[in-house]
Amino acid sequence: MIVRRNLKFKLILFYTWKQLLYYILLSTTVFILHEYYQVVFFDIPSYTIAALGTAVAIFLGFKNDHAYDRWWEARKIWGLMVNYSRAWTRQVITMIIPQSPEEETEVQRLHTIMVYRHIAFVNALRVFLRRRLPYNPDQKELFQDENTYRDAQPFLDRSEYDTFKNKDNPPNFLLQKQGEDLKMAYQRGWLSDYRFVKMEETLVDFNDIQGMSERIKNTPLPRQYTFFSRAFVIIHCTLLPMVFISELGWKTIPISVIVSFVFLSLDLIGERTEDPFENRLEDTPMTSLSTTIETNLREQLNEDKSSFPEKYKIENGIVF
């Protein structure tokens, strides 16, 4: 997530320079051919592209809208993660109750195990989501965050961690373990039938959070939309200097590059925003949210503030 209000010029150029170059070369060529070789081929009246411009602008509006919706939904899902993590921790602490004073220590150890395993789940899901899919873009990125299951290791016991990291779907494995511990607590009498079901419902909320995140990760904005939005921008902006040349002369070059820049930016903003789990600068700030969750949960366990991880790492105006 970008938090700096003013994007650096370098950043913008990094992602647009290839296309900008195309438009500069294109308009220069049109200008030279028209001016020095009297090619009238490019002499197109302005109204021909008026309808085109409006249609493309509306379509880009549509694309940006849905890209934003995906991004914001991703953030909402991880917001739910924060809420239910706190609720889960409170439920573990107040609802799993020993039958007799002798069981007190054992039950408290279970509290810690289940809350720590949840912190592991949060880290695991983040890593699971940020892995690279075969059909997602493999673009060179300016900034990236480290992405490894080792972040979950401190919160799991050794053998559980070993099984965990070899699973096809590691986060789902942790939820299964939580369910089995609930069953055990129920069979030991630490949970009533009713409280057992209530806590299982909270696990279903985590199933939902994982599944909704996977949906956004695995299903790109339909390619038919993204492909054509790019194609239409190229068509429209390629016609621009041909329309401008007859009246604008050399001013065709700056004006058509500026207008093209606006349209290609509109396209690019959508494209960069549509996939919020790709380990890049526009990502949902899952690393930062994992830290918040860890801090909150350990505070609920009454652990000492001094051992909490550091918060809000803002580097280069970006929060991961």
User: Rule CB under 8 A: which of 10-39 touch a second copy?
Assistant: none
Kindly indicate which of the ranges 26-34, 121-129, 154-162, 245-253 contains the residues binding a second copy, using the contact rule CB under 8 A. 245-253
Q: By CB under 8 A, is residue 132 in contact with a second copy?
A: no
User: Positive or negative, the Cα torsion across 112, 118, 122, 123?
Assistant: positive
Q: By CB under 8 A, is residue 160 in contact with a second copy?
A: no
- Min dist CB 294 to a second copy, Å, is 11
Burial of 148 (0-12, 13-18, 19+ CB in 10 A): exposed
Using CB under 8 A, pick the residue from 93, 120, 174, 264 that binds a second copy: 93
Which tokens in the block code for residue 242? Answer: 């041909």
Q: Which residues pair with 315 in a beta bridge?
A: 318
Q: What are phi and psi of 2, to 5 degrees?
A: -80, 130
144 three-state secondary structure: coil
Nearest residue (CB) to a second copy, 127 versus 182: 182
Using CB under 8 A, pick the residue from 183, 189, 309, 316 that binds a second copy: 183
Q: By CB under 8 A, is residue 98 in contact with a second copy?
A: no
Nearest residue (CB) to a second copy, 33 versus 255: 255
| 47-77 as b/e: b if 16+ CB within 10 A | eebeeebeebeebbeebbebbeebbebbeeb
Kindly indicate which of the ranges 17-25, 77-85, 106-114, 148-156 contains the residues binding a second copy, using the contact rule CB under 8 A. 77-85
Using CB under 8 A, pick the residue from 16, 20, 33, 86 that binds a second copy: 86
Cα angle for residues 289, 171, 120 (degrees, 5° grid):
50
- Min dist CB 236 to a second copy, Å, is 8
2 three-state secondary structure: strand
Q: By CB under 8 A, is residue 3 in contact with a second copy?
A: yes
Nearest residue (CB) to a second copy, 118 versus 195: 195
- Min dist CB 25 to a second copy, Å, is 20
